[in-house]
């Protein structure tokens, strides 16, 4: 029964009581004493029983000896009962002290609980060992008494009947006392079981409270982890949104730059087309102007031939005036060339890294009023950026309105001329 109770009772953190094992040991001792004081009239086959010891006892004691032995057995039983009561009270005090210690130990960590479980296991093992030792001692005592009874039976056969009657009476009285003792023991065992069940219920309630507290802590920890994960997700989403906004801004900026570059390329292409159209128009204008000049020269030559036929005297008279006009025209032409060179030098932006050995020649074509009809490279420097800077300088310095201040013959001569560009000088 004690094994079934121990197997079915839930584990708790308190100490295991010694009441049930002590009662079992006490009952076992009482059973041995009863068997040792009871003898049967004849040796007959013993019925099967579930007792630990099976023996046939033959007693040679007198009634006085039997009464004395019964009294001694009763005294021993009472002493054992008193001792057991003291042990139970001590165990109760220990249980109370351990209950207080357990309440204190509830605040300990998982390591203390493991240690208490190990201590509980050791105590159960110690209790089982004590029970085993008690059974072995009882069996040894029964065996010894059986052997002693067998030896005495052979010597006192003739007194068996009377002693048997007396033993039966004493056995009946002893059985009555044992029955009362057993009832008291069963009552005590019942109280012990109820107390043990109460302790188990309290331990189970404490375990449930601890589990509830643990679940609450785990739920709080889970909530904190979820909150932290949510904050991290929000931060990550914010970072991604900012990163996406930055990428969009960069893409928009890149798109604007590309559009601006495209507009600039288109504007540059448009400007080049316009410049090409302008050069073509100027070339056409130049061609027409040259054709007009050719016709004018032919007309002047014709008129000159007619004038030459009018008389040598008038030619001689005008010779001195022509020489003076030619001298003035040459001075005006030199002034015009110097003015053009200075204007082009001021407008020229020399490309960075241009070496001093570069040289480019630009052919300049002007209209009747000094407007620029065309500027082309007649001799390249081999560096496209250097050649382009020379043409841009001529275009930036035009128009050259001073051409109208020259005499008509000098104007025709300077409608087309060349400029040679070298780093630091224009000629």
Asked if residue 59 has pLDDT above 80, the reply is no
Question: How far, CA to CA in Å, does 309 sit from each of 193, 306, 315, 319?
Answer: 167, 5, 10, 16
What is the per-residue pLDDT for 38?
A: 58
Token code pair at residue 165: 């009657």
Q: Does residue 321 belong to any structural domain of this protein?
A: no
**Which tens digits make up the pLDDT trace of 111-146?**
877 788 888 888 889 888 988 998 898 889 988 998
Question: Domain span at residue 385?
Answer: 332-427
Run of H or E residues at 93: helix 63-105
Asked if residue 315 has pLDDT above 80, the reply is no
Q: Does residue 402 belong to any structural domain of this protein?
A: yes
Of 192, 222, 252, the one marking the end of a domain is: 222
pLDDT average, residue stretch 32-45:
61
Q: What confidence tier does 425 reach under pLDDT thresholds 50, 70, 90?
A: low
Q: Does residue 363 belong to any structural domain of this protein?
A: yes
What is the per-residue pLDDT for 2?
A: 42
What is the per-residue pLDDT for 232?
A: 93
Give the whole-angstrom CA distance, residue 22 versus residue 131. Answer: 9
For the chain, what is the domain count? Answer: 2
What is the per-residue pLDDT for 317?
A: 45
pLDDT average, residue stretch 19-34:
81
Angle of CA points 345, 351, 354, to nearest 5°: 100
Q: Does residue 262 belong to any structural domain of this protein?
A: no
What is the per-residue pLDDT for 17?
A: 59
Of 174, 195, 222, the one marking the end of a domain is: 222
Q: Is 73 in contact with 33 (CB distance < 8 Å)?
A: yes
Give the whole-angstrom CA distance, residue 378 versus residue 396. Answer: 19
Is the domain of 72 the same as that of 214? yes
Of 197, 222, 247, the one marking the end of a domain is: 222
What number of other Cβ atoms are within 10 A of residue 50's Cβ? 5
What is the CATH number for 414?
3.30.1150.10
Give the whole-angstrom CA distance, residue 125 versus residue 220. Answer: 40
**Which tens digits make up the pLDDT trace of 237-276?**
999 989 888 888 887 888 888 888 788 888 777 887 788 7
Whose tokens are 């121990």? That residue is 6
Q: What are the φ/ψ torsions at residue 351 (nearest 5 degrees)?
A: -60, 145
pLDDT average, residue stretch 355-370:
86
For 226-247, b where at least 16 C-beta lie within 10 A, e where not — what string?
A: eeeeeeeeeeeeeeeeeeeeee
What is the per-residue pLDDT for 293?
A: 64
For 317-339, b where at least 16 C-beta lie within 10 A, e where not — what string?
A: eeeeeeeeeeeebeebbeebeee
Q: Does residue 132 belong to any structural domain of this protein?
A: yes
Q: Is 14 in contact with 99 (CB distance < 8 Å)?
A: yes
Whose tokens are 């800077």? That residue is 389
CB-count burial class (<10 Å; 0-12, 13-18, 19+) for 58:
buried
Q: What confidence tier does 186 reach under pLDDT thresholds 50, 70, 90?
A: very high
Q: Does residue 301 belong to any structural domain of this protein?
A: no
3-state helix, strand, coil in the chain (%, to 5): 75, 5, 20
Asked if residue 416 has pLDDT above 90, the reply is no
Evaluate the omega torsion of the peptide bond into residue 399 and state whether it is cis, within 30 degrees of 0. yes
């Amino acid at each position: 029964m004690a094994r079934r109770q121990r197997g079915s009772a839930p584990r708790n953190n308190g100490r295991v009581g010694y009441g049930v094992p002590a009662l079992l040991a006490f009952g076992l001792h009482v059973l041995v004493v009863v068997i040792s004081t009871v003898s049967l009239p004849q040796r007959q086959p013993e019925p099967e029983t579930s007792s630990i010891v099976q023996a046939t006892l033959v007693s040679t004691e007198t009634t006085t000896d039997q009464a004395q032995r019964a009294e001694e057995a009763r005294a021993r039983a009472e002493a054992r009962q008193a001792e057991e009561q003291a042990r139970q009270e001590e165990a109760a005090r220990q249980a109370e002290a351990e209950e207080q210690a357990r309440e204190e130990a509830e605040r300990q960590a998982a390591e203390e609980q493991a240690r208490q479980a190990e201590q509980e296991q050791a105590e159960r093992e110690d209790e089982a060992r004590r029970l085993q030792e008690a059974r072995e001692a009882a069996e040894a005592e029964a065996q010894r008494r059986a052997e002693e009874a067998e030896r005495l039976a052979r010597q006192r056969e003739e007194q068996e009947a009377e002693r048997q009657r007396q033993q039966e009476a004493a056995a009946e009285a002893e059985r009555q006392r044992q029955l009362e003792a057993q009832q008291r023991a069963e009552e005590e065992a019942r109280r012990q079981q109820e107390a043990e069940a109460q302790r188990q219920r309290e331990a189970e309630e404490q375990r449930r409270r601890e589990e509830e507290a643990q679940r609450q802590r785990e739920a709080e920890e889970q909530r904190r982890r979820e909150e932290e994960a949510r904050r991290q997700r929000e931060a990550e989403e914010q970072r991604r949104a900012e990163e996406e906004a930055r990428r969009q801004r960069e893409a928009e900026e890149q798109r604007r730059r590309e559009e601006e570059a495209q507009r600039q390329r288109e504007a540059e292409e448009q400007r080049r087309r316009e410049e090409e159209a302008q050069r073509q128009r100027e070339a056409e204008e130049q061609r027409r102007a040259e054709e007009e000049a050719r016709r004018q020269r032919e007309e002047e030559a014709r008129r000159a031939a007619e004038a030459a036929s009018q008389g040598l005297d008038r030619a001689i008279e005008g010779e001195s005036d022509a020489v003076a006009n030619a001298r003035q025209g040459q001075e005006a032409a030199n002034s015009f060339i110097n003015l053009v060179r200075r204007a082009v030098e001021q407008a020229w932006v020399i490309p960075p890294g241009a070496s001093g050995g570069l040289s480019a020649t630009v052919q300049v074509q002007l209209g009747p009023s000094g407007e620029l009809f065309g500027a082309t490279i007649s001799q390249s420097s081999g560096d496209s950026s250097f050649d382009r800077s020379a043409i841009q300088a001529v275009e930036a310095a035009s128009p050259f309105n001073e051409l109208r201040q020259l005499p008509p013959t000098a104007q025709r001569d300077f409608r087309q001329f060349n400029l040679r560009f070298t780093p630091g000088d224009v000629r």
